[in-house]
Amino acid sequence: MDTREALLGALERGMDGVEMDVQLTQDSVLVAFHDLDLAEKTACEGPINSHTWDQLKNCTDEERNGDTYPIVRLDSLLLEATTKFPKAEFTFDIKLNTKGEWWPYLHAFTNAISKLAMHPEAKNRIVIECQTKDFLQLMHDEALEIPLFLYGSEPQLAIELATELGCTGI
């Protein structure tokens, strides 16, 4: 999950797109990683956003079968994937996890996604899904061209909130 091999492998097998868990490093690099603490799957510790990309380069994602995979940097993965698979779509499941200041973190996350989405090869091929109202509202206000989906557990509340936020769907 969230490895280069899994994501590109799905596209190589004919999938129309892939969904990946996305987090932000301390120096505003987007990476694909699910767990909120690195210690759950790597020899490193702490949340992704407490490390710079250079610090994370050597933290490998350890799968249950004993294989290890480097943490995936999204800009390089997307460049490779969009070149090889010109019709593929990419859903970013946003994992927000900070012990720092909330709004500066959300702004940095939004800016990093907007910058990546402006790349000519990625334009109109990224979809955002998130559970957090603050983030979705900020994305709606600052990056109108990116479709937003609310990830909710209560259908009626999710529909109401998604409508209020101007989301594409739930």
Stated pTM of the model: 0.92
Main-chain phi, psi angles of 81, to 5 degrees: -65, -40
CA distance 71 to 156: 36
Condensed to tens digits (0 to 9), the pLDDT of residues 38-84 reads 988 888 899 999 999 999 988 887 665 667 788 999 999 999 999 99
Per-residue model confidence as pLDDT tens digits over 116-139 = 999 888 889 999 999 999 999 999
Q: Please check the confidence at residue 142 and state whether its pLDDT lies above 70.
A: yes
Contact indicator for 73, 80 with CB cutoff of 8 Å? no
Give the Å distances, CA to CA, from 45 to 29, 73, 92, 153.
18, 18, 23, 30
Mean predicted confidence (pLDDT) in 81-108: 94
Helix (H, G, I), strand (E, B) or coil at 11: helix
Q: What percent of the chain has pLDDT over 70?
A: 96
Tell me which residue has tokens 């994992």.
95
With a cut of 90, say whether residue 99 has pLDDT above it: no
